[in-house]
Amino acid sequence: MKDNIKSARRRMLKLGGAALAMIPVMALSGRTYAATNAAMRASFKYQDKPAGDKACRGCVQFVPGKTAKALGGCKIYPGDTEISPNGYCTAWVAAPKK
């Protein structure tokens, strides 16, 4: 019984150590991991191309990426970081003119 507890504790320490060791690797790599929100994309029929002159870059919900051509986000698609400025969905609403 004691051996089982010691063995389980040893495994937990190893896993915890491995997890801790990965933190600086992930932090130094400077990479952010892209994600999509498949459920929201399906609900609003998201597509990676514009619909006529309607594109995400002209939508009030669009959150631009680092550059004008970079992928960005959408205020109504939680966690989605792969929204194309040239994309479109049925929730499109014109952004106010600047």
* Residues that bind ligand SF4 in the complex, under the rule CB under 6 A: 44, 46, 56, 59, 61-62, 74, 76, 83, 87-89, 91-92
Bridge partners (DSSP) listed for residue 97: none
- Give the whole-angstrom CA distance, residue 80 versus residue 74: 7
- Give the whole-angstrom CA distance, residue 50 versus residue 55: 5
Q: Which is nearer to ligand SF4, 59 or 71 (CB)?
A: 59
Beta carbon of residue 33, minimum distance to ligand SF4 (angstroms, whole number):
20
- Give the whole-angstrom CA distance, residue 84 versus residue 62: 9
Q: Which is nearer to ligand SF4, 61 or 81 (CB)?
A: 61
Q: Which is nearer to ligand SF4, 71 or 74 (CB)?
A: 74
